[in-house]
Amino acid sequence: MRQIFPAGTAGRVLGPADPLRLAGQISPAAPSAPQVSELIAALGAVYAYPDRRCVRGNMIASVDGAIAIDGRSGGLSGVADRLVFWVLRSLADVILVGAGTARQEQYGQVRLGDIWSQLRAGRPSAPPVAVVTRNMNLPLEGRLFGDGSGAERPARTIVLTTRLVPEHRLRAAARVADVIVAGDREVSAAAAIDALAQRGYRSILAEGGPGLLGELSAAGLLDELCLTVSPVLEGGRSPARVLTAPAGAHPRPAELRLAALLEDDGFLFARYLRAG
């Protein structure tokens, strides 16, 4: 993996071109070779959060703009993309996701084996997942809310929902998650971020879907976007974009500036900051 931007770093090699296969390293849970630890430290510096509240989006897209193949983003991913994905999660205080994406991508709680512990000094061992759901249309059993297996105790999932949800459903969810009623009929982007900030979460990683990122952007709350460009031509079958504007909204284009650009095996990893 090499860094292309900013100026002065062009061509700087951060680590092995195929980092996760080095010495059998396939995930944060596997034994780390020294070169992998050095690469993780370098990526931690590239993607370090600022010392303030910051909402960062992370998405992957094909060269022709698709964000999924056959409905899942995994078809666009690769070894280095999964590495950056884990690094971004390891740096975050909380992971924010929409209910549709949580269902489609089969989200689970973040476990210790998913996290680079060297990037979490002074913080809880793993970040919680916070799910935005208007009507609590989520299965309350299984990986997202803990299936009771193993000795590990991941951070409880946070549910951001509305007063549309019946009281008995809220009580059932409260047994397996931290439930926050953050709206009457909708959970606005501002309400979701404010609720998390009030709980002390400053480094917020939004993993989608496009509707959630579009709402954050339209509200002026998306401070950064980490975009992976996969060397794949999806072929134009998927109409989905990285961001989708909320219905009836006409957000102004937001100017971004490139903060970092990495490359590995044809994948491009761009970190954009909102200008100003």
**Which pLDDT tens digit goes with each residue over 175-184?**
999 999 999 9
Q: Give the residue, 101 or 18, on which the prediction is more confident.
A: 101
pLDDT value at residue 18? 58
Q: What is the side-by-side strand order in the sheet with 94-98?
A: 12-13, 2-5, 256-264, 267-274, 224-230, 54-62, 203-206, 94-98, 129-132, 158-161, 178-181
Q: 7, 18 in Cβ contact below 8 A? A: no
pLDDT value at residue 253? 86
pLDDT grade for 135, boundaries at 50, 70 and 90: very high
pLDDT value at residue 17? 55
pLDDT value at residue 120? 93
Residue 65, H or E segment: none
Q: Is the pTM of this model over 0.75?
A: yes
Q: 45, 3 in Cβ contact below 8 A? A: no
Taking 70 as the threshold, does the pLDDT of residue 31 lie above it? no
CB proximity list for 268: less than 8 A, separation 6 or greater: 228, 229, 261, 262
Mention the CATH class of domain 2-274: alpha beta
pLDDT grade for 239, boundaries at 50, 70 and 90: confident
pLDDT value at residue 62? 94
What is the arithmetic mean of pLDDT over 33-41?
A: 81
Q: Nearest-CA neighbor of 213 among 249, 242, 173?
A: 242
CB proximity list for 171: less than 8 A, separation 6 or greater: none
pLDDT grade for 23, boundaries at 50, 70 and 90: very low
Q: What is the pLDDT of residues 140-180, one digit of tens each?
A: 987 899 855 555 678 999 999 999 999 999 999 999 999 99
Bridge partners (DSSP) of residue 230 are: 62
pLDDT value at residue 171? 96
pLDDT value at residue 149? 53
Give CA angle at 101 (223, 253), nearest 5°. 35
Computed over its alpha carbons, how large is the radius of gyration of the chain?
18
Q: Give the residue, 11 or 245, on which the prediction is more confident.
A: 245
Taking 70 as the threshold, does the pLDDT of residue 51 lie above it? yes
CA-to-CA distance for 173 and 140, rounded, in angstroms? 7
Mean of all residue pLDDT scores within the chain: 88
262 burial level (CB within 10 Å; 0-12, 13-18, 19+): buried
Q: 76, 240 in Cβ contact below 8 A? A: no
